[in-house]
Amino acid sequence: MESWAKLVPELVVSDLQASLRFWRDLIGFSVAYDRQGDGFAYMDQDGAQVMLEQRDPGERQWVTGPLEAPLGRGINFQIEVPALRPILGRLAGADWPLFMAPEAAWYRAGEVEVGQRQFLVMDPDGYLLRLAEDVDERPAICRPAPVAGQQPVFERLTHADWSVSTAKRWSASARRQDDRWLVEAPEPVGNVAAFVDAAFADAAIQRVLLGFDFPIGVPIAYGAQTEFRSFREMLSALSGEAWSRFSEVARLPTEIGLTRPFYPLMSTKGVSRTELVAGLGVASFDDLLRVCERRTEHRQAACSLFWTLGGNQVGKGALTGWSEVIRPALLRGSKLWPFDGTLEELAHTPGVVLAETYPAEAYRMARAAFLPGQSKRRQADRRGKAEAVMAWANRHGVTFTAQAAAELADGFGAGESGEDRFDALLGLLGMIEVVDGRQRERTEEHPVIASWEGWILGR
């Protein structure tokens, strides 16, 4: 040990020998000195230092309250290490659970952002350690401070109801007029390049938020196994040779892997989710769900991005959306929520911001949810939601163009595009709810959201 640290936490532990097996044998600290008779050890690892003292009610230990597991609630100890891999290997060999899987994170430090790989693990008493390995630094994204008393706002919102089929892609837009939103009638997305061009043309003078109802992000159980530090970084590498088959849906279980994770190409006898689980090296199918897709008391679990079978599969739509919209827009300088910041941060300057949406979330916000026995596929049921939607609009200062109001009142016609036009419009109303502050951007603050998994706007 070269020197004594100026700040050294002293942790009261229930079993010093058990703590030593964790801190020394698994994490890699050494014992600088100890006092066996007192149940005390001073630990050091390249200047990171901590004192461990076994609990003894008869001794003076400055305990301020009941010692109830897990100890150290409200604090985590960041420890810089040369490499995470050896520590992760020892923890895995001891079957020691992680509190948070490895991730890449970026933190603002003045004019730069400092990157690190990190994971979280609890010691035998519950003290939380954050092991971190430095990776790089980059210029900080310019996010000017808002003017006092003035909140940044988006002036243009567009929601696209997406599909693999180009005929089923519809979008609806709203533009801000003073303190009100003017909602326009849905229209076909049409040529995707032209659609993106129009958004960037608007963004030359205003702030534009584009919402798409396909997944933008991948589950951390998958991402952590790749060579990349984030979903953003992975997206930019998909054009490389090593990942050239990423978008090809695997026909056979033997074709599944990190660089070809989508399966199956078609429904055949014997195809099962267990083949996808095994091929991607995860413990269960639930590991292939993002946090925002998992079952809660209010909603069923979504379909995994990588499982491409069934009526509610979303993987093929995501592949087309990433290749036709997300990657080209990012190359042109757009920002990606929530990976690049909060909506407030991203609205500080004119430009295009991309976000993931889910129209069914907006049904609830506008009080237009379909009851059992009803379906958005039926014109009459869609027409029955018009009154509730217009009441929502009147309450919140939202105006519909004459055409938009007429199409809503009619249930968007009897044609096959009716449900797509309905979802395009309702998804737009959900975006208005979030941008106007009546709905939170997201209800979870899990650390993997901004690095790998993303989130559904307003969920």
Among candidate residues 362, 408, 383, the one with its CA nearest the CA of residue 186:
408
**pLDDT confidence bin for 266, thresholds 50/70/90:** confident
Quick: pLDDT tens for 224-233.
Answer: 999 999 999 9
CB environment 285-304: b (16+ within 10 A), e (fewer): bebbbbbbbeeeeeeeebbb
Do 103 and 180 lie in a common domain?
no
Do 426 and 337 lie in a common domain?
yes
Within a domain: 105: yes
Q: What is the DSSP letter of 168?
A: G
Report whether pLDDT(146) > 60.
Answer: no
Give yes or no for a contact between 211 and 361, defined as CB atoms under 8 angstroms apart. Answer: no
Q: Which of 264, 289, 313 is the last residue of a domain?
A: 313
Angle at 326 between CA 146 and CA 339, to 5 degrees: 45
Q: Which of 313, 338, 372 is the last residue of a domain?
A: 313
Within a domain: 441: no
Report whether pLDDT(158) > 50.
Answer: yes
Within a domain: 107: yes
pLDDT at 449: 94
The predicted model gives 246-251 an average pLDDT of 95
Among candidate residues 203, 196, 83, the one with its CA nearest the CA of residue 132:
83
Distance CA 415, CA 298 (A): 32
CA distances from 301 to 291, 313, 341, 387 (A): 10, 12, 26, 30
Do 104 and 130 lie in a common domain?
yes
**Chain-wide mean pLDDT for the chain?**
91
Q: What is the DSSP letter of 173?
A: E
Report whether pLDDT(444) > 60.
Answer: yes
Q: In 241-374, which residue ranges form alpha helices assigned H by DSSP?
A: 273-279, 315-321, 327-331, 343-346, 359-365
Give yes or no for a contact between 217 and 338, defined as CB atoms under 8 angstroms apart. Answer: no
pLDDT at 136: 67
87: Cβ contacts below 8 Å, ≥ 6 apart: 26, 27, 28, 81, 131
User: What percent of the chain has pLDDT above 70?
Assistant: 96
The predicted model gives 433-437 an average pLDDT of 94
> What's the distance, CA 416 to chain centroid?
32
Distance CA 337, CA 261 (A): 24
Report whether pLDDT(336) > 70.
Answer: yes
Do 402 and 329 lie in a common domain?
yes
Q: What is the DSSP letter of 257?
A: B
pLDDT at 134: 84
Quick: pLDDT tens for 113-126.
Answer: 787 878 899 999 99
**pLDDT confidence bin for 64, thresholds 50/70/90:** confident
CB environment 187-203: b (16+ within 10 A), e (fewer): ebbeebeebbebbeebb
Distance CA 336, CA 356 (A): 9
Q: Which of 84, 105, 139 is the last residue of a domain?
A: 139
- Dihedral in degrees, nearest 10, Cα atoms 425, 430, 434, 437: 100
SS3 132: strand
Do 203 and 333 lie in a common domain?
yes
Do 347 and 292 lie in a common domain?
no
What's 108's domain CATH number?
A: 3.10.180.10
Among candidate residues 386, 435, 393, the one with its CA nearest the CA of residue 211:
435
The predicted model gives 211-217 an average pLDDT of 97
Residue 13's CB: how many other CB atoms inside 10 A? 23
pLDDT at 334: 96
Distance CA 89, CA 280 (A): 19
Distance CA 230, CA 13 (A): 36
Distance CA 117, CA 412 (A): 49
pLDDT at 371: 93
The predicted model gives 394-412 an average pLDDT of 95
In the block, residue with structure tokens 């040369």: 82
pLDDT at 152: 57
Do 135 and 224 lie in a common domain?
no
Which range of 92-96, 296-300, 377-381 scores highest in mean pLDDT? It is 377-381
pLDDT at 37: 85
CA distances from 444 to 299, 308, 338 (A): 15, 27, 12
331: Cβ contacts below 8 Å, ≥ 6 apart: none
Full residue range of the structural domain in which residue 375 is found: 156-215+321-435
Q: Is the pTM value of this prediction over 0.85?
A: no
Give yes or no for a contact between 199 and 208, defined as CB atoms under 8 angstroms apart. Answer: yes
Within a domain: 5: no
pLDDT at 140: 62
Do 326 and 368 lie in a common domain?
yes
Number of separate domains in the chain: 3
pLDDT at 142: 45
Per-residue tokens: 295: 């079952």
Within a domain: 34: yes
pLDDT at 150: 45
Lowest mean pLDDT among 302-311, 379-388, 407-416: 302-311
Do 393 and 338 lie in a common domain?
yes
**pLDDT confidence bin for 144, thresholds 50/70/90:** very low
More reliable by pLDDT, 152 or 156: 156
Distance CA 161, CA 211 (A): 9
Within a domain: 408: yes
Quick: pLDDT tens for 291-332.
Answer: 999 888 777 888 999 999 987 789 999 999 999 999 999 999
* Phi, psi for 88 (deg, rounded to 5): -60, -40
Among candidate residues 195, 199, 211, the one with its CA nearest the CA of residue 161:
211
The predicted model gives 33-60 an average pLDDT of 92
Lowest mean pLDDT among 62-71, 238-247, 405-414: 62-71
Report whether pLDDT(148) > 70.
Answer: no
Do 123 and 77 lie in a common domain?
yes
SS3 345: helix
Do 197 and 332 lie in a common domain?
yes
Distance CA 274, CA 290 (A): 18
SS3 284: coil
Within a domain: 457: no
Within a domain: 448: no
pLDDT at 66: 86
**pLDDT confidence bin for 179, thresholds 50/70/90:** confident
Cis peptide before 264 (omega within 30 of 0): yes
pLDDT at 151: 54
Distance CA 87, CA 95 (A): 12
Do 342 and 425 lie in a common domain?
yes
pLDDT at 358: 93
